[in-house]
Amino acid sequence: MSFPRYLKYKDSGVEWLGEVPEGWMVDRLKWSTLSEKNGIWGEDAQQDKQDIPCVRVADFDRQRLRVELFEPTVRNVTEKEKAGRLLSMGDLLLEKSGGGEGQPVGSVVLYDDTQTAVCSNFIARIKVAEGMSSSFWRYVHAAAYAIRLNTKSIKQTSGIQNLDSAQYFNERAAFPSVDEQHAIAAFLDAETARIDALIAEYETLIGLLKEKRQALISQAVTKGLNPDVPMKDSGVEWLGEVPEHWRLYQTKRLFRLVVEQAPDDNNEELLSIYTSIGVRPRKSLEEKGNKATTTNGYWIVRKGDIIVNKLLAWMGAIGLSKYDGVTSPAYDIFRRIKPLAPKYYSELFRCGIMFSEFRRHSRGIMDMRLRLYFEDFGQLVIPYPPPSEQMEIVKTLELEIGKMDELVANAEIGINLLKERRTTLISDAVTGKIDVRASSAVDTSCIT
C-alpha cells in the first residue's frame, strides 16, 4: 500500500535525511532529550541496600524496540544508586557497550514496563524532552541504527565496542511538531505490530515444518515406509519396534574406522562437519572466520564416508560426505563394509532420538568434554533394512524433505521481506517521506 507525501519539501542538508517536509525542523538529536544518565555502580560500601530488577542489554527486544523483562535479573543496590538509575515508563535505553561481529553497539529501545527497575552499567537511560513522544524517538533511533549512523561514534576498546553517546547525539535528525510525532508513533506502533504478528506466524510455520521434518525422518529410518508391515521388538530401548524383516547389527559390523593419513602438501579439499548443515568444504565457510592453515597429517575422506566429530557427536556433529577430501584428525571416518546406503545411516545418526545414546556412550567429566570413540560407537545396535529398502527410504525422504525445505525457504523469504518492509516504513515515516497523519490502519496481509 502506498502513502501520500507531504505537499512541500525542503533540503535538510543531512545526507541520511534527504528532503524533509517544509514545516519540520532539523536539529541535533540531543535536543530531543531532557537528560541522559550513564549508570555506574558505586564503589563505596553503602547501607540499606535492596533488591531490584536490573535491565540488561540482553533484555532488549531489538525487533520490537522495547524491553522484555520475562525473567529479570535482580541486583542489590543502594538508594543512592537507585536514584540515578531508576527507570520510568517512557524512558529510552541506549546500548553503550557490547556489540559484536555483525551487531554494532548503539541500539535504542523503549522502556514501557510498569515494574520498578534500574538499568545496568552498559545502558544509558534517556528521558525525552517534555511533550515529545518517546515512541516516535525510538523509531528515529531505529532508522539511524539501520543505516549505521552511529558507526563513527563507536570506539573500540579491548574487543568491546563503546559508543560515545555525546558524539552520537550531535548527529542531526528531523523534528516534526509534537502532534505529528504522536501521530507518526501511533501509526508505526500499529503497523509494526501487524508486521510483527505476520512474522510470528511465519516463524510458527517454520517451527511446525521443522518438527514435522524431524518426525518424518525418525519414523522412516526406524519404522520404514509401510505402516502395515509386521513389527518385532528390536530389544533396543531407544529403537523400540522395527519391521519384522529388518536385521539388527552393531555399528562396527556395518562400518569400519578409516585412518588414512593424507600426504604433506596435498591439494585435497578440506572438509568440516557442522551440527546444523552436516559436512561442507571448509573454504565455503572461510569468509565466516574458519581459516584453514595446513592439512598435513589430516585424514583422507572419500564420497560416501560418514564423518563424526567425537567431541560433538551427541549434539549432531555427524554426517555423510558428498566430497573427496581431507578432514581433521579430531574426527573419525566411517566407511561401509556391507552393502548399504550411506545416506540412510547419515539420516539415522543425525536423527535426534540417537543423540541421547551418543551422549550416554561418550566419555568425559562434563558435557563439553565428552568424546564418543569408535570402540563405544561401534557397540551401538542399529537397524539394517534390506539395501533396496534403504534406498527407497532415502528417495522418499529426499522428496518429502525437499518439499518441506522449500516451504521453509519461502517462509524465510517472507520474513525477510516483512523485516525490510518494517525498516523502510519506519525510515520513511520518521524522515517525512510519507504522510501518515490521516492514515488508518494499513492492510499488510498482501506482503509476502
Contact call for residues 392 and 399 (beta carbons, < 8 A): no
Residue with cell 510470528: 200
Q: Where in the chain is the domain with CATH 3.90.220.20?
A: 25-173, 248-380
Phi, psi for residue 301 in degrees, rounded to 5: -125, 140
Give pLDDT, residue 122.
85
Q: What is the pLDDT along the chain (448 residues), one digit of tens a residue?
A: 689 999 999 999 999 999 999 999 999 999 998 765 554 333 343 444 568 888 988 889 988 999 988 778 888 877 777 777 889 899 999 998 876 655 678 999 999 988 888 888 888 899 999 889 999 999 999 999 999 999 889 887 656 788 888 999 999 999 999 999 999 999 999 999 999 999 999 999 999 999 999 999 999 999 999 999 999 999 999 999 999 999 999 999 999 999 999 888 788 889 988 888 889 888 766 555 444 566 778 999 999 999 999 988 888 899 999 999 999 898 999 999 999 999 999 999 998 889 889 989 998 877 677 899 999 999 999 999 999 999 999 999 999 999 999 999 999 999 999 999 999 999 999 999 999 988 744 444 333 3
The answer to whether 346 and 306 have CB atoms below 8 angstroms apart is yes
Q: How far is CA 285 from CA 50, 128, 262, in A?
A: 49, 44, 22
- So what's the pLDDT on residue 285? 63
Instruction: Give pLDDT, residue 284.
Output: 65
pLDDT at 58 (0 to 100): 87
pLDDT of residue 104: 77
Q: Which pLDDT value is given to residue 151?
A: 87
Distance (Å, rounded) from C-alpha 66 to C-alpha 135?
A: 10
User: If DSSP states are collapsed to H, E and C, what string results for the chain?
Assistant: CCCCCCCCEEECCCCCCCEEECCCEEEEHHHHEEEEEECCCCCCCCCCCEEEEEECHHHEECCCCEECCCCCEEEEECHHHHHHHECCCCEEEEECEECECCECCCCEEEECCCCCCEECCCEEEEEECCCCCHHHHHHHHHHHHHCCHHHHHEEEECCEEEECHHHHCCCEEEECCHHHHHHHHHHHHHHHHHHHHHHHHHHHHHHHHHHHHHHHHHHHHHHCCCCCCCEEECCCCCCCEEECCCEEEEHHHCEEEECCECCCCCCCCEEEEECCCEEEEHHHHHHHCCCCCCCCCCEEECCCCEEEECCCHHHCCEEECCCCEEECCCEEEEEECCCCCHHHHHHHHCCHHHHHHHHHCCECCCHHHCECCHHHHCCCEEEECCHHHHHHHHHHHHHHHHHHHHHHHHHHHHHHHHHHHHHHHHHHHHCCCCCCCCCCCCCCCCCC
Residue among 420, 422, 347 nearest 390 (CA): 347
Amino acid occupying residue 427: S
pLDDT at position 411, please? 97
Strand-pair category, 25-28 with 172-175: antiparallel
* Measured distance CA(77)–CA(47) in Å, rounded: 9
pLDDT of residue 159: 66
Q: Cα–Cα distances in Å, from 143 out to 27, 108, 148, 169, 234? A: 16, 10, 9, 14, 59
- 278-281: strand order across its sheet: 278-281, 270-274, 325-327, 299-301
Distance CA 357, CA 402 (A): 28
**CATH number for the domain running over 25-173:** 3.90.220.20
For the record, the C-alpha cell of 131 comes out as 511533550
Mention every residue, 6+ apart, whose C-beta is less than 8 A from residue 104: 148, 150, 151, 154, 161
Dihedral pair phi/psi, residue 430, rounded to 5°: -80, -15
CA angle 198, 202, 207 (to 5 degrees): 145
Contact partners, residue 412, CB within 8 Å, separation at least 6 = 202, 206
pLDDT on residue 49: 56
Q: Which fold has domain 248-380?
A: Adenine-n6-DNA-methyltransferase TaqI; Chain A, domain 2 (3.90.220)
- Tell me what pLDDT residue 334 has: 96
Cα–Cα distances (Å) from 369 to 311, 359, 366, in that order, read 7, 11, 5
